[in-house]
Chains A and B, each alone.
Chain A
Amino acid sequence: DAGITQSPRHKVTETGTPVTLRCHQTENHRYMYWYRQDPGHGLRLIHYSYGVKDTDKGEVSDGYSVSRSKTEDFLLTLESATSSQTSVYFCAITLDRGPGELFFGEGSRLTVL
């Protein structure tokens, strides 16, 4: 257990509304990630962070923004949710050095109607 919590765990929203998902860690790891998972696509990287205020895009970043104002929190925002963003979102952290395995949160299931 790497002390990762995601909130909310489930959310249903309507097209066009803003949504923010939160990932919280308790161990001050530098690297944090947001992935989305859809049937047939495995895990796809949305954004990642390598420190406070240091973030970068992943492979499917369009329509998403992130912020990291504190080491422990990494926020994923959908400014105007669309039905194509219905997915399960996973947050992950990795240790800073060495082989550093990834630890994942339990996921946040988002449904955009």
Chain B
Amino acid sequence: DAKTTQPNSMESNEEEPVHLPCNHSTISGTDYIHWYRQLPSQGPEYVIHGLTSNVNNRMASLAIAEDRKSSTLILHRATLRDAAVYYCILRPTGSARQLTFGSGTQLTVLP
């Protein structure tokens, strides 16, 4: 199964943009890139997903490299409420077996 690699931790100042990277060099052509975040004492929640093109929603933007071997989750203006662990995973189309998570990136937002 395709794996993802993320930095263990990152820091950002409040109200500044945050770029969270994810490497997925073994991605296959039918894998979606998903991002989730987990706030303290809660279950993970969906943030955004993409296949080939960059995506925007109310929570974040997802920038996908042209070769799809990496992606970046962009929080345009970090708030204290964005402090969480962010996970990048690959979700195959047509089969949802073995959806595995890595350790994610712990984002600290400084006031």
Give the residues in chain A near B94, CB-CB below 8 Å: 97
Task: Report how far A92 CA is from B34 CA in the complex, Å.
Answer: 15
Report if A59-B100 is in contact (Cβ < 8 Å); known contacts: A99-B51, A102-B36: yes
User: Size of chain B's interface in residues, with CB distance under 8 A?
Assistant: 24
Contact B98 A58 (CB under 8 A): yes
Q: Which of A56, A99, A101 contacts B97 (CB 8 A)?
A: A56
CB–CB A90/B44 < 8 A: yes
A-B contact count (CB 8 A): 70
B65, CB-defined interface residue at 8 Å? no
The secondary-structure label for the interface of chain A is strand
Contact B44 A100 (CB under 8 A): no
Chain B positions within 8 Å of A, measured between CB atoms, are 32, 34, 36, 42-46, 49, 51, 85, 87, 91, 93-94, 96-104
Q: List 11 A-B contacts (CB under 8 A).
A: A31-B97, A35-B101, A42-B103, A48-B99, A92-B99, A99-B32, A99-B91, A101-B91, A102-B99, A105-B43, A107-B43
